Chains A and B, each alone.
Chain A
Amino acid sequence: MFEILKEEKTMKIDRRAFLSLGLGAAAGTAITPLPWKLIDDSSIWTQNWPWTPVPPVGKVTNVNSVCTLCPGGCGITVRKSGDRAIKIEGRDDHPINKGGICLLGLSGLQLLYGPTRIQTPLKRVGDRGENKFKPISWTEALTIFHNSLKQMRDDKKSHELACILGNHSDSTSALFQRFCQSYGTPNVFQMPSAQDISAEGLKRMQGDESSIAYDLENADYILSFGAALMDGWGSPGKMFQIHGARKSALKPSQARMVHIDSRMSNTAAKADSWFTVKPGTEAVLALAMAQFIIHEHRYNHDFARKYIQGLDDFKALIDKSYTPEKAASITGLDSEIIRFLAKDFSKAKRPVALFGRGNLENAGSVAEFMAIHALNALVGNINEKGGVWAKPEISLQNWKPAELDGIAIEGLNQKPLDPDSKTFSNRPHRMIDAIRKSKESPVSCLMVYGANPVYQLSNQEAVQKALASIPMIVSFSSFMDETTILSDLILPDHFYLEKLSDTRTPPGIQKPIVSLQKPVVKPVYDTCHSGDVIIRMAKKLGGAVANAFSWTDFEGCLKNHLGQYWKTLNQKGFVDDASYKPVRRFSTSSRKFEFISNSKQKITFEPVPIDGDTAKFPLLLISCDSIRLVANGAPTPPFMIKTLDDTVLKGNDVLVEINSRTAKIMGLRHNDVASLSTPHGSARVRVNVHEGIMENVVAIPRGLGHTAYDDYLSGKGVNYMSLIKPVEDSLTGQDVAWGIRARLSKA
């Protein structure tokens, strides 16, 4: 090589030299580990990109609590890595759900750590609805609140404080009620549900003071009148367990489930048999079955003799108007099938007729309850194994009754906004009506806890106008929901995984239980337990109000309430009575089951009347409930929205279900955009055309149509409540609107 070099007089360095340098470098690099190491390292580097969610490294612990995202009361165990909650699972040893959990329970962490959480107390600085708020300290927030409250009391206007609560029966809600009582206002409203209706019905028919429960694990024939057993009815954790046991391949069960529904819901699909009746006519079907059962003497004679009052009067009533033939024309179900159902039901050993359409948030009328429950009485399956029971509770320590001062007594004696309310009202629509009727709002300050009335209540135009006229709205919500965005002062509550509270026996559950809701993580943001806020407000007001809240904080108040069970609840998480059995006793005046109580009110079993004339609005719009949507105004997590089929939500459009023959008449094909109008509103929808729904019926899913929260939820679909108005139950005044007449036209 040196000879070659010597031959050249000068070493010419040009492109070729550098090229060969490059080639040499490449060849050399190829025989080093560098390229292979860099490839390996780049792939690992991509796994570290910041959007890849990885829990922090920390000690793994499990904390038990109870889920309160719905009233179902499932026991949960939350796995944590250090301070961060990373997975929610059902507790294997909890009697309600036995390790099961629904997708809402599983998605709780998305809500806990999500972007829509309110992080500090907020004060409105823009116009209402503009979403312009200023973060303030708790001291400032509570001072503002206190000043308002004190002013109203000083002006002897304590009755102008109103409160809307959700329908969770927990100690914090009870504390709000106690506050309103000692403060001096009768205007406490609770969002209604089917539990209120069944409680009213049970009181009239059996003299019981609680809502209805069913021993479904032991029933052998379940006749569901529209109950969404697979879509959130009662306690979903328990319902899935029961369904699983019924369908178990390992241990086949003889229990049958028959479902009555105008559309093929999930429950209808999972039932052994499914029959359709025109929406709203469920009571008529029940009565026709009763008529046949009595006529053919298929009822439990023994039970009737011992425990039933007024069988003859009942028979006379339904013989006149509700024979299977008459019912056939009202319900659209063939009279032969009605007779078959009656025979099928009455020959089962432990048949149960289930009341409560959908997931129990939209109630049927008291008359409908009574008609359905009459069937249970006829087969004598009340307070028996596998039958219908009254929902029992573990008896807890009542707080000492609050002492009332002069201002409170005067305030409580004022005429309540809902003239029929006693301690509280489950008719919040009447508050809206009262405000709309007056020139100046009779409510100076509205507190909202555990509810989202701007989303949940129907006749949305009236709700918006009524709230606009209330000078001060205080929200305790953890999220910027539709009601909170219209508030003036926001005092964010801890979210359920950060909170200490309690839950009672869930809806429909037949054995008593109390579960403790324990803080699983330290509060993620600067929030405060609403129970503590109320206690501090009461103490600041002084006098008799403060005396009614003598505990140091909410924990002290809860400890007082849970009494002897406090220790067990902290250790085990729940207290139940697995061996509970109902007493065979009726507390009516006759000491027997009464078909129609001796009240002077006339009970009608015709479908609850709904708005709209048939000419202009030829279709019937009903709502449908899904386990994949939270329908009561609380947020639906993104995980759940993602599970919605293209036949429920397509892009941002909700799909309404119609039968193919109905579609043909309207000139609509599957997925077509249409305009859905009712006498109270109209909206853009798409149509889901299929055979699994009755003709001339339109079904819309509940839970969409949010205008607040975040991009994952807002602006998708239509809120069913924006299309209907309240219809009062003739016996209780509760809103029992089950649907409305509607029109669909191609858009």
Chain B
Amino acid sequence: MTTNDQNAKNESHKTCTGAGPGTITVFFLVGVVASMIFGWIVFPELLYSKKHQPIDYNHRVHLDVVSNGCQSCHFFYEDGSFSGVPNLANCRECHEEVQGESKEELKLVEQYVRKNREIPWLVYSRQPDCVFFSHAAHVKKIDLECKTCHGPIGQSTHSRVYEENRITKVSRDIWGKNIAGIKKNSWDRMKMDDCAECHAEMAGKKDACFVCHK
């Protein structure tokens, strides 16, 4: 009698067994794969919003016609401050009237020049507020090339999409397109460590905090 009970107990014990090692492994692997897909692919999609520039600007075509390269529109004022992205007055110098046949140029003249409206450009390389950066120190003092930090944008024929981090409101160009922060060119990333690399070379050791964080 007891053996029957014991058998019954054993059997029920057996049927009461939970998920087997196989199931557990499967679920574990599903977890890993799903989270990796999420972390590497879905997350960057969700994190960054995509915006288009107000006008699809063609750098190459402009570089061909201006006399001074990048500096024709991105220049220094007398007091040493940098003009940054040009304002309407700059574009107006040539585009008071429609010059060519592009739809974008028509947009420029009709929506902005005629209405005297500043173009609300989205700035790819804007750093967060805690950062102090002086173009004069880098361009004038050590003759750094524009493309070292900004990439060969002068060769672009279209404005690429502006991607903005939804949490920090900072442009994706700062962290870099690669979500893991791996970069190939010096212009792929503009985080603190990227500036610090060069600064450390110049200073011989880690440079001081207050150089960029006033």
Tell me, yes or no, whether A binds B: yes
B35 touches A33 (CB 8 A): no
Of A13, A32, A38, A60, the contact of B36 (CB 8 Å cutoff): A32
> A51 in the interface, Cβ–Cβ < 8 Å?
no
Interface hub of A14, A16, A26 (most chain B Cβ within 10 A):
A16
A32 touches B38 (CB 8 A): yes
A103–B188 alpha-carbon span in the complex (Å): 46
Number of A-B contacts (CB under 8 A): 125
B39 touches A33 (CB 8 A): yes
A-contact 0/1 string along B19-32, CB 8 Å cutoff = 11111111111111
A33 touches B179 (CB 8 A): yes
What bracket does the count of chain B residues touching chain A fall in? 35 or more
A29–B31 alpha-carbon span in the complex (Å): 9
B27 touches A20 (CB 8 A): yes
B31 touches A20 (CB 8 A): yes
> A306 in the interface, Cβ–Cβ < 8 Å?
no
Residues of chain B within 8 A of A747, CB atoms compared:
none
Closest beta carbon of chain B to A57's beta carbon, Å: 8
Residues of chain A within 8 A of B113, CB atoms compared:
none
Of A5, A17, A28, the contact of B34 (CB 8 Å cutoff): A28
Residues of chain B within 8 A of A23, CB atoms compared:
28, 31
Closest beta carbon of chain B to A690's beta carbon, Å: 39
B31 touches A11 (CB 8 A): no
Closest beta carbon of chain B to A51's beta carbon, Å: 13
Of B19, B39, B40, B180, the contact of A12 (CB 8 Å cutoff): B19
> B33 in the interface, Cβ–Cβ < 8 Å?
yes
B24 touches A16 (CB 8 A): yes
Residues of chain A within 8 A of B27, CB atoms compared:
17-18, 20-21, 24
Closest beta carbon of chain A to B37's beta carbon, Å: 9
* Stretch binding the partner chain, chosen from B56-64, B147-155, B168-176: B168-176
B40 touches A15 (CB 8 A): no
A11 touches B23 (CB 8 A): yes
* Stretch binding the partner chain, chosen from A41-49, A341-349, A556-564: A41-49
A34 touches B43 (CB 8 A): yes
> B78 in the interface, Cβ–Cβ < 8 Å?
no
Known pairs A16-B24, A17-B24, A44-B170; A32 contacts B31 (CB<8 A): no
B-contact 0/1 string along A135-166, CB 8 Å cutoff = 00000000000000000000000000000000
Residues of B151-194 at the interface with A, using a CB-CB cut-off of 8 Å, are 165, 167-170, 175, 179-181
A33 touches B22 (CB 8 A): no
Of B81, B165, B168, the contact of A60 (CB 8 Å cutoff): B81
A60–B168 alpha-carbon span in the complex (Å): 25
> B129 in the interface, Cβ–Cβ < 8 Å?
yes
> B18 in the interface, Cβ–Cβ < 8 Å?
yes
Known pairs A17-B27, A37-B47; A24 contacts B18 (CB<8 A): no
A26–B34 alpha-carbon span in the complex (Å): 10
B43 touches A32 (CB 8 A): yes
A33 touches B40 (CB 8 A): yes
A15–B175 alpha-carbon span in the complex (Å): 39
Known pairs A23-B28, A37-B179; A31 contacts B168 (CB<8 A): no
Known pairs A24-B29, A33-B39; A48 contacts B169 (CB<8 A): yes
A14 touches B30 (CB 8 A): no
Of B17, B18, B39, B168, the contact of A48 (CB 8 Å cutoff): B168
Of B25, B26, B36, the contact of A28 (CB 8 Å cutoff): B36
> A1 in the interface, Cβ–Cβ < 8 Å?
yes
B31 touches A21 (CB 8 A): yes
Of B35, B128, B129, B181, the contact of A24 (CB 8 Å cutoff): B35
B179: nearest chain-A partner, CB-CB = A33
Residues on B close to A: CB < 8 A?
Answer: 17-36, 38-40, 43, 47, 81, 128-130, 165, 167-170, 175, 179-181
Known: A8-B23, A47-B129, A48-B168. 4 other contacts (CB 8 A): A5-B23, A26-B31, A44-B167, A44-B168
The 8 closest A-B pairs by CB, nearest first: A24-B31, A32-B39, A28-B35, A4-B22, A28-B32, A24-B28, A25-B31, A44-B168
10 contacts between A and B (CB under 8 A): A5-B23, A21-B30, A25-B32, A26-B35, A29-B35, A31-B36, A33-B43, A37-B179, A42-B167, A47-B130
